[in-house]
Structure 1
């Protein structure tokens, strides 16, 4: 408890803003790099002998997240993600978003995509795993295994391909909620 003469410590500006901005600016040219077949994913993720994907990447945008348990502390969540498609239906990417508490956050991941799910050609599932950064004080306990803002994450995605380039996706955020997004392949 603070005495009347003590003031709470002044925290420096959130370092997550700088990290998110640096990653965003670094990826601003990623679609052009992907079109030139430049690799920004580790080569060990590619499957030797697998057919080359028909597209190089996907950008997705999420304007809405539904929380299982609503809290007055929750803020509007917005996400932009960029994936690179690799041979063997593998992928890697980065997501920039404001988390449920208004903190700038980043998710760097690799994963696998499964197409033609349940015999439906347009239905697909993605499973990604990676490192999440952004849940810092006072919300560091809102994600499991968080250490200094970094925590592991696994995010399953169910999607439906509307056209060869457009899809809608539902990201399952564990016991926190569901994220609705739109994806555009390039």
Structure 2
């Protein structure tokens, strides 16, 4: 498989894991105080401004939710310039936004490593590749185990992900 086909294959695989709407009911989005894990897969990032230097972004992340509010996570991804990058973060999740049980928002903050060399100035406060990161996100719980999410990448763009709870 060519490396350019990997994101498409991962997206198709994740779509196969999503339960159909007929299988989802009101109990699917009930909140819980039990700890759980969540796998995040992002096959695509949208950049606000085109640059010929931009490469395909692919992210794989894992979060541990202590309850339905606090979480700790990590992600490995290829950044916008094709460099391997990693992040470790903690965050908070707001469920049932505007009274809608499926809608949520998240805010995660931590440290990221990976923007080095000629791309070191592409993220603020970068010191030898290490920089702080703050990522707000909004998501929709399709079922009790599946969600889609959009994360704001500062002034650079948006990251689209599929999240699977287990």
Q: Does 1:78 pair with 2:21?
A: no
Q: Which structure has more strand as a fraction of its residues?
A: 2
- After superposition, the CA RMSD in angstroms is 1.3
Distance 1:71 1:89 in 2: 37
Q: Does 1:149 pair with 2:149?
A: no
Change (3 A) 1:88 1:158: closer
Distance 2:67 2:140 in 1: 21
Which portions of structure 1, spanning 4 or more consecutive aligned residues, are displaced by more than 2 angstroms? 51-55
- Give the paired residue count: 136
Segments of structure 1 that go 5 or more residues without pairing to the other structure are 1-50
In the superposition, the TM-score normalised over structure 1's length comes to 0.71
Q: Does 1:58 pair with 2:38?
A: yes
**Which of 75, 81, 95 is equivalent to 1:101?**
81
Query: Secondary structure, in 3 states, of the residue corresponding to 1:168?
Result: strand
**Which of 109, 113, 118 is equivalent to 1:138?**
118
Distance 2:32 2:96 in 1: 17
Partner residue in 2 for 1:169? 149
Distance 2:156 2:37 in 1: 28
Partner residue in 1 for 2:11? none
In the superposition, the TM-score normalised over structure 2's length comes to 0.79
Shift of 1:164: 0.4
Q: Deviations over 1:28-70 (max 9, x none)?
A: xxxxxxxxxxxxxxxxxxxxxxx96345110010000000011
Structure with the larger RCO, 1 or 2 (CA within 8 Å, 6+ apart):
2
